Amino acid sequence: MMRLGIISSSGGSVFATGINLLKSCGYEVSAYVVTDRECGIERACDELGVSYTRIIDNDNVGFSCKASQWLFFENNVDWVCLFFTRLISSSIYSFKPCINIHPSLLPAFPGFNSLQRAFEKKVRFVGATAHFVDGSTDGGELVAQVVGSVVNMHDIQQLERLSFAQKLYIFLVLCESVLLDGVSYLYKSKDNLNTYPAHSWNSQSLRSKKLADAFEDFLKSEKIYWIR
């Protein structure tokens, strides 16, 4: 059983799809979600039966202190994953592992609108990066990366669908690895960082064939094309 904390201000598609895929493959996950506004992930939590709380506080430090209290002390989560558009303070990331999933191959295109900027630069490859959260903007130590070709992708919508798949894959890898190895995986993985394709199983990819197949089936059902 993994107790996963989520801080989000997004629609929650990566989170909801990831939790459904993990549970369909027999993994036990208890998730606890913090939001700062009305957003899609709250509706996803209602559908999934996931506990969540909304914290309204425009001060980042105040918000982070309240989120830390609810996640760590009231619900004892093992680690936290961000799908968030605000900075958080050290009351969250200094206590237990806190990982952000960013839609670019960091250190390229940090910050907001990274996918749009990559599209405008006409890059040949895009990716996603999991990194530790610290006081910087997307400057924390890297944990995992994925990459894919954007050949024959001619609009931002196609790129967004690929980016969704890449963020989902990283989320699944992180969750499965913590379930199998504990949170120590997050610290070990940063010392052996590699950029991996979605179909090759190694220290930083999906280890369960059932979960890997479920991910590939999801891509096919959604007609998302990921050229590795």
- Neighbouring residues of 70: CB distance < 8 A, sequence distance ≥ 6: 32, 34, 53, 55
pLDDT of residue 151: 81
CB-based contact 39:11 (threshold 8 Å): yes
CB 167 within 8 A of CB 128: yes
Q: How far apart (Å, rounded) are the C-alpha atoms in residues 99 and 143? A: 8
d(CA 138, CA 141): 9
2-189+203-222: CATH number: 3.40.50.170
pLDDT score at 204: 58
Place of tokens 């960013």: 102
Specify the amino acid at residue 147. Answer: V
DSSP states along 11-41: --HHHHHHHHHHHHTT--EEEEEEESSS-HH
What's the pLDDT score for residue 193? Answer: 53
The DSSP symbol for 138 reads S
Rg (CA), the chain: 17
Instruction: Per residue of the chain (228 residues), give pLDDT as tens.
Output: 999 999 999 999 999 999 999 999 999 999 999 999 999 999 999 999 999 999 999 999 999 999 999 999 999 999 999 999 898 999 999 999 999 999 999 999 999 999 999 999 999 999 999 999 998 889 999 999 999 988 878 889 999 999 999 999 999 999 999 999 999 888 876 555 544 444 443 335 899 999 999 999 999 999 998 876
Q: Which pLDDT score is estimated for 189?
A: 67
Phi-psi group of 76: left, alpha or beta (phi > 0 → left; psi -120 to 50 → alpha; rest → beta):
left
C-alpha to C-alpha distance for 58 and 60, rounded to whole angstroms = 6
Contact 101, 170 (CB under 8 A): yes
Rounded CA separation 200/173 (Å)? 12
Is pTM beyond 0.75 here? yes
